Amino acid sequence: MAERIIPGPGARSAARLAGSALRAAILVAISAVFVFPFLWMLTTSFKTLGETIVFPPRLLPESWKPENYELAWKNGRFPTYLFNSVFISLSILACQLVVVVPAAYAFACRAFAGKKLLFGLVLCGLMIPGQATFLPIYLLFSELGLIDTYAALIAPMAASSFGIFLIAQSFRQVPLEIIEAARLDKAGTFKLIARILMPMAKPALITFALFSFIAHWNDYFWTLSMTTSDAIRTLPIGVAMLKNVENVKSWHVIMAGNMILVAPILAIYLLASKYIKTAFTYSGVK
């Protein structure tokens, strides 16, 4: 009978090291696929016109041109677009929190007739794209005379099926004993939500706020469809319209406009990324 050979500690260590190196290489390759487009956009935003069309293309510019950002900012009416983006995104987020948090509390902590059916309808909302509901909403707001107003961009987004689902899952992780103890202490519904459930669901709330802000900051279709003037339009449309500005006919200025659009949400995401991991780990979303 052949004798079984057991690998020694050195062989096992070498195998673990090789496995770690392979995983690191795969992660670096995947990261490069996602990071490289942003890096290319950043470096192109500092190039001259000639450097954007040279072949073979070069990653880094020979001379850095920060004035591209000034040209994009002035010719694209970016102050107006930036204000609209911030105001609309934050207004939608505020409205959604007012609707989503009480709804999540009701589904997670209260018993009422038709609860499972209604929660199922909420989940169905996750599967309906915005384009499918656009036409009836547009016709309604047209009849009300609200096209090209802030209300047309904010009111239809005042609720979120994803937010209700995510925060309800987080509320369900709160031990029932804590909720019952608060009720025995005569804590009202508002106090229970504000002082107990919301602090314990902080990662989920921050994650939802981040997703909501980014989604509406980057929204192009809805804003373009519901507006007719530059006074209400947002940064994504402003960047797209740079191609039609007489003084801006080159990709380096358009890339500068894209960087103005992308930089705030990248910064917010990097600051809040740890909360996203926590929310999806402990909220039952796996």
Query: Tens digit of pLDDT for each residue in 211-257?
Result: 899 899 988 888 888 988 888 989 998 888 877 655 555 778 888 88
Is residue 5 assigned to a domain?
A: no
Q: Which long-range contacts (CB under 8 A, 24 or more apart) does 233-239 make?
A: 233/80, 233/81, 233/84, 234/81, 234/84, 234/85, 234/88, 235/78, 235/81, 235/82, 235/84, 235/85, 235/260, 235/261, 236/85, 236/261, 237/81, 238/76, 238/77, 238/78, 238/81, 239/76
As a whole number of angstroms, the distance between CA 90 and CA 129 comes to 22
Q: Which stretches of the chain drop beneath a pLDDT of 50?
A: 1, 283-286
Tokens of 32: 């490069």
**pLDDT tens digits, one per residue of 129-142:** 877 888 899 999 99
Q: 41 and 258 in contact (C-beta within 8 Å)?
A: yes
Residue 128 within any structural domain of the chain: yes
Find the CATH number of the domain harbouring 201. Answer: 1.10.3720.10
For residue 4, the model assigns a pLDDT of: 56
pLDDT in the model for residue 94: 95
pLDDT for res 22 = 82
Q: How many domains does the chain have?
A: 2
Range of the domain at 36: 11-44
Residue 54 lies in a domain: no
Its pTM stands at: 0.80
Same domain for 278 and 203: yes
Q: Does a structural domain hold residue 56?
A: no
Q: CB neighbours (10 Å) of residue 76?
A: 26
In residues, how long is the chain? Answer: 286
Which letter does DSSP use for residue 284 in this model? S
